[in-house]
Amino acid sequence: MDLSVAGDNFCVPTCASDSFVYFAAHGFDRLVPIDGGDLEIVQGELVKTLASSGYMSTNPDTGTTPSNAMTGIRRYVLEHGYVCQRLEYAGWRPLQRRWLNAAVAPAPNLNWIKAAVAAPNGTAWLEIGYYVHGDSPGQWRRVSGHSVVVVGYGTDGTRTDSHILLVDNPAVGARLPATPEQQANGMKWRPVTLPDQAITLTPAGSLQLFGEKSTTPRNVSQLFQVDGPGVPFSRKKYAAAFLDGTVILVIGQPS
């Protein structure tokens, strides 16, 4: 679903809504009323609900924190009669005290992400941070971020690679600008293909990261650098993208 008209800072509730719609079509129908009506309107209302103060408390200017995202996800799942069998976070950004037990690692693990995505009742949301160079080698300053939901892994349709993830990017939607060759033939837009959804994660080594408002760096290791068409960003504004964190959810029926 493309909510870019509403601002990129609603990417977290948009990603969560994508997963909830998928779950609703695969055995968790109480999450979203997907039968009848206009699904795009239904999902748009779901995004508004998840972004509201009763759930994720998304800030239109700064987006959604990991803690607020998990608070909203858990509350929505429980209110609709299901349980979070696993709701976990791995990443370098700090969590509120009530969520410290959900923090499983200071950096996301690729196999941990894949295991959640492979589960029929699981999903993973990636938090990508965009960075510029700091004052010293190995230092990076975060300037913004973006979230995407993982929908597959291992191939982009043209090659296989264990470090490839396929993502649904809420800033892209279902179509992209046509290539110059296609535009020459009168085509303005083209459908999103499998390679368009691919990102590649590369181990980044040891880093010193500054948050957007911090003056003291955090020493972080085992993060992945992110590249590929699945997360487009302008290198005129950002020097690199790193996988700041990941939230996974495995949803279940109440016992």
Question: pLDDT per position in the chain (255 positions), as tens?
Answer: 433 334 458 999 999 999 999 999 999 999 998 776 688 888 889 999 999 999 999 998 888 999 999 999 999 999 999 999 999 999 998 899 999 999 999 999 999 999 999 999 999 999 999 999 998 888 999 999 999 999 999 999 999 999 999 998 877 666 666 677 777 777 777 777 788 899 999 999 999 999 888 888 889 989 999 999 888 776 678 999 999 999 999 999 998
Structural contact between residues 90 and 100, judged by C-beta atoms closer than 8 angstroms: no
Structural contact between residues 239 and 225, judged by C-beta atoms closer than 8 angstroms: no
- Is this structure's pTM higher than 0.85? yes
Position 176 scores a pLDDT of 62
Integer Rg of the chain from CA:
18
Position 243 scores a pLDDT of 97
Position 194 scores a pLDDT of 84
How many CA atoms does the CB half-sphere of 122 hold within 13 Å? 17
Structural contact between residues 77 and 32, judged by C-beta atoms closer than 8 angstroms: no
Name the CA dihedral angle for 233, 237, 244, 126, rounded to a multiple of 10 degrees: -20
C-alpha span between 61 and 63 (Å, rounded): 6
C-alpha span between 246 and 209 (Å, rounded): 17
Position 65 scores a pLDDT of 93
Nearest CA-CA partner of 220 in 152, 135, 84, 129: 129
Element (H, E) at 74: helix 66-79
Position 4 scores a pLDDT of 37
